């Protein structure tokens, strides 16, 4: 092994650090630490002058490990790592946070600063170089679902230069939007806006439209997915001119799914005139095989020899845009679905221009299952608006619409649309309808007047909840919607790397929001696929002493571990995010992650007593920085160790810490916020540990605190209370 030549650079940060740390004394102390060959201080290390100083000294003194004792690594870790990137591996540079976690929050902080530097030095002794892996992702994308979201994202991606495979289960693209009469708030004809986009998709040489096709399996990982799709035979080839003669002679009539089964179609049919691809299709389940259609087809487009085929597509990323379906109305019995004249909103949309609505009384029942603990707890988000739209359209056609609502949720500019409906004389009744009876008697209370009433209607339209249509194995929330990594900051990326969620499959959305999310998906995909993918090298590695118990595979949230008892287990590096959960769970310490066990032990052993805090990099570490910035003091005994996630903290780390320190604080995100969803495993392990500690009378020496990255105040309070309790101080 090469000889260690550690250099320590201590920053004054003006008086920010030098104000409460005796830098000169600190330099002298550091010189005595084993393996340290060079120590220097500087007024501002981050300045141009300071950076040059560090760079030159590292070269001159031939240093192979460097500690920068300065501000929080969140500020300048990247600066120094990239500064030294051509002479040192990034893992050989360590920041000792002696500003936010030391000089700003303590007085006479020289001792603690020295402890923090010693901890940093100790880690460097065990640091292993991090190898970055780069690879070129495949420049094509799979889009699942050909609704408005899938169409939008496909067009974007094709324009950006990617090959797009647009897979659609139905015989045509268009999705639910194609079924709409018109769209709010502009009241445009839906098909008039949609069909140009559909043809654009069809004519784009970069987009391969695969209709009548379903995804049957996904293998591989970000940058290189292998997707198996099953393409059902259409029995009509590209020669079809959509003349429609075949359909005219076809003797079979079955309900038309596109029309919510409200009209009839033939066994050879086209779902709607603007369907894309513009070819007829034979429904093999209703076709009787008379072949009358063959005899009238002039261009010889009908081909009964076609077979289902399974294709494999190789793509770099996947966008899921499978949209929504409506909740089953039968499940809300009291609202009368199934009675004549009671429709779902989508059925009514199809019927609007066909029914004679003159003089008809129509009840629009909102929240018919949404915002309902017994059905779907969430707000479906779009029902208020489309019901107002349908009410306006019905009114135009001479009907008398009533809208029964709990709250009209006309967000943003939609309020104008609501006002328009009020102006045009649509009756809004505040009161949730609880029962619809035969004869379409609707029972309600006008809650604004405290008046219980019953009225008869000709039609009742139920605004049923929007439920996800997600036949895809991605992490889901309790309602079955696809789960995005962060609902606000990262709304379209799923927990599976390289898989994105567009449109209604992740939450109820109107067309506008669906399109926004589709554009976002296109941007995220192109960000990922352009150039090379650099894998963060902080993934887990399974070592040879693995006993093949498979626990790691079970606990991994990201499905990053593959294999079985027979062949052993392997980390899929492209998928692993390096949370460290598997390592902490491994019964034989066979999984190495960053930071390694040795590195954590080294820090603990050199903490110089006091209380050790394991801080999650996402939240608690930031919270400690916030506390520093606010100069909120807390006891000096607290010394922080940065970990990628609470789940990285192993029982053995805690036990080790208890050998060298008087208490251990484990601080991480709130369970729901965990960036790896692995928090729960950590909590379970710590609970188990507590049981043993209890027998030793030490259970109060270990505490878990949940906080968010802004909660500096909570951080300080927790540290203060814990340290004071450990040392039985009052105050």
Binding site for another protein (CB under 8 A): 334, 367, 371-375, 406, 430-435, 443-447, 450, 452
In 3D, which of 20, 73, 11, 77 has the Cα closest to residue 44?
Answer: 11
CA 296-299-300 angle, to 5 degrees, is 75
| Tokens coding 184 | 């709010």
Per DSSP, the three-state class of 514 is helix
| Tokens coding 401 | 């619409």
Phi, psi of 716 (to 5 degrees): -60, -45
CA–CA separation, 312 vs 617, rounded Å?
A: 40
CB of 441 to another protein, least distance (A): 11
CB of 431 to another protein, least distance (A): 4
Closest CB to another protein among residues 430, 629:
430
Closest CB to another protein among residues 479, 727:
479
| Tokens coding 274 | 């603007």
CB of 377 to another protein, least distance (A): 9
CB of 447 to another protein, least distance (A): 4
CA–CA separation, 687 vs 301, rounded Å?
A: 68
CA–CA separation, 310 vs 312, rounded Å?
A: 7
Closest CB to another protein among residues 406, 680:
406
167 half-sphere exposure, CB direction, 13 A CA radius: 23
Are the C-beta atoms of 204 and 223 separated by less than 8 Å? Answer: no
Closest CB to another protein among residues 375, 652:
375
Closest CB to another protein among residues 253, 334:
334
CB of 624 to another protein, least distance (A): 23
Beta bridge partners of 467: 325
Are the C-beta atoms of 55 and 84 separated by less than 8 Å? Answer: yes
Closest CB to another protein among residues 184, 404:
404
Per DSSP, the three-state class of 38 is strand
In 3D, which of 41, 355, 393, 31 has the Cα closest to residue 186?
Answer: 393
CB of 457 to another protein, least distance (A): 14
Closest CB to another protein among residues 161, 439:
439
- Decide: residue 19, CB within 10 A, 0-12 exposed, 13-18 middle, 19+ buried: middle
CB of 553 to another protein, least distance (A): 32
CB of 335 to another protein, least distance (A): 10
Closest CB to another protein among residues 396, 453:
453
Are the C-beta atoms of 640 and 96 separated by less than 8 Å? Answer: no
Strand-strand pairing, 163-167 and 207-210: parallel
CB of 286 to another protein, least distance (A): 40
User: What H or E segment, with its residue span, contains residue 696?
Assistant: none
Give the single-character DSSP code of 629.
Answer: H
Closest CB to another protein among residues 237, 446:
446
Closest CB to another protein among residues 224, 679:
679
CB of 714 to another protein, least distance (A): 13
Closest CB to another protein among residues 269, 327:
327
Closest CB to another protein among residues 410, 604:
410
Between helix 651-660 and helix 679-695 the angle, nearest 10°, is: 50
In 3D, which of 483, 543, 491 has the Cα closest to residue 516?
Answer: 491
CB of 334 to another protein, least distance (A): 6
Are the C-beta atoms of 650 and 659 separated by less than 8 Å? Answer: no
> Distance from first CA to last CA of the chain, Å, rounded?
51
CB of 462 to another protein, least distance (A): 14
| Tokens coding 362 | 């129509």
CB of 369 to another protein, least distance (A): 9
Closest CB to another protein among residues 73, 431:
431
CA–CA separation, 65 vs 35, rounded Å?
A: 10
Neighbours of 46 (CB within 10 A): 19
Neighbours of 235 (CB within 10 A): 21
């Amino acid at each position: 092994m090469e000889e260690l030549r550690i250099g320590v650079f201590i920053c004054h940060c003006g008086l920010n650090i030098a104000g409460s740390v005796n830098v000169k004394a600190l330099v002298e102390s550091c010189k005595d630490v084993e393996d340290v060959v060079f120590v220097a201080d500087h007024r501002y290390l981050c300045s141009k002058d300071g950076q040059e100083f560090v760079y030159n000294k590292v070269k001159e003194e031939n240093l192979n490990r460097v500690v920068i004792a300065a501000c929080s690594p969140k500020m300048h870790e990247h600066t120094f790592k990239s500064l030294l990137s051509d002479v040192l591996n990034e893992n050989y540079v360590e920041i000792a946070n002696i500003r936010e976690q030391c000089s700003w929050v303590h007085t006479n902080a020289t001792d603690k600063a020295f402890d923090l530097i010693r901890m940093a030095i100790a880690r460097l002794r065990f640091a292993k170089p991090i190898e970055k892996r780069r690879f070129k992702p495949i420049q094509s994308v799979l889009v699942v679902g050909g609704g408005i979201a899938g169409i939008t994202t496909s067009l974007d991606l094709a324009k950006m230069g990617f090959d797009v495979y647009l897979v659609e289960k139905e015989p045509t693209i268009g999705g639910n939007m194609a079924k709409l009469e018109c769209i709010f708030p502009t009241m445009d004809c839906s098909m008039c806006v949609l069909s140009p986009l559909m043809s654009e998709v069809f004519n784009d040489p970069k987009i391969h439209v695969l209709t009548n096709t379903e995804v049957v399996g996904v293998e591989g990982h970000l940058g290189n997915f292998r997707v198996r799709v099953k393409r059902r035979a259409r029995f009509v080839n590209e020669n079809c001119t959509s003349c429609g003669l075949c359909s005219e002679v076809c003797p079979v009539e079955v309900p038309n799914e596109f029309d919510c089964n409200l009209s009839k179609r033939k066994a050879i049919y086209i779902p709607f005139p603007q369907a894309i691809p513009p070819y007829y299709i034979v429904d093999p389940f209703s076709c009787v095989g008379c072949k009358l259609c063959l005899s009238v087809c002039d261009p010889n487009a009908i081909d009964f020899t076609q077979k289902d085929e399974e294709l494999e597509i190789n793509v770099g990323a996947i966008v899921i845009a499978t949209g929504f379906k409506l909740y089953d109305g039968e499940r809300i019995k009291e609202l009368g679905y199934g009675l004549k004249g009671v429709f779902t909103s989508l059925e009514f949309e199809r019927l609007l221009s066909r029914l004679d609505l003159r003089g008809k009384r129509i009840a629009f029942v909102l929240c018919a299952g949404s915002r309902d603990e017994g059905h779907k707890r969430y707000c479906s988000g779009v029902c208020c608006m489309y019901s107002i739209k349908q009410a306006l359209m019905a009114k135009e056609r001479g009907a008398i619409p009533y809208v029964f609502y709990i709250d009209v949720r006309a967000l943003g500019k939609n309020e104008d649309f609501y006002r328009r409906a009020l102006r045009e004389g649509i009756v809004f009744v505040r009161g949730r309808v609880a029962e619809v009876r035969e004869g379409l008697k609707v029972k309600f209370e006008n809650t604004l007047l405290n008046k219980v009433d019953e009225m008869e209607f000709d039609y009742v339209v139920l605004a049923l909840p929007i439920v996800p249509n997600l036949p895809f194995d991605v992490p889901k929330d309790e309602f079955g919607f696809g789960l995005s990594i962060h609902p606000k900051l990262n709304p379209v990326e799923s927990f599976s790397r390289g898989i994105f969620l567009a449109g209604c499959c992740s939450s109820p959305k109107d067309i506008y929001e669906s399109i926004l999310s589709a554009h976002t998906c296109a941007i995220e995909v192109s960000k990922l696929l352009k150039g090379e993918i650099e894998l963060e090298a902080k993934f887990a590695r399974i070592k040879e002493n693995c006993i093949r118990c498979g626990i790691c595979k079970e606990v991994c949230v990201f499905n990053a571990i593959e294999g079985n008892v027979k062949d052993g287990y392997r980390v899929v590096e492209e998928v692993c995010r390096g949370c460290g959960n598997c390592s902490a769970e491994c019964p034989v310490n066979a999984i190495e992650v960053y930071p390694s066990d040795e590195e954590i032990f080294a820090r603990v052993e050199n903490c110089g007593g006091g209380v050790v805090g394991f801080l999650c990099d996402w939240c608690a570490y930031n919270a400690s920085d916030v506390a520093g910035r606010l100069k909120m003091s807390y006891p000096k005994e607290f010394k922080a160790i940065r970990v990628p996630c609470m789940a990285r903290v192993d029982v053995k780390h805690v036990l080790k810490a208890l050998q060298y320190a008087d208490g251990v604080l484990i601080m991480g995100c709130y369970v729901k916020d965990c960036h790896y969803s692995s928090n729960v495993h950590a909590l379970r392990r710590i609970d188990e540990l507590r049981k043993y500690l209890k027998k030793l009378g030490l259970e109060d020496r270990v505490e878990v605190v949940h906080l968010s990255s802004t909660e500096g105040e909570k951080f300080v309070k927790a540290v203060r209370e814990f340290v004071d309790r450990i040392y039985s101080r009052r105050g």
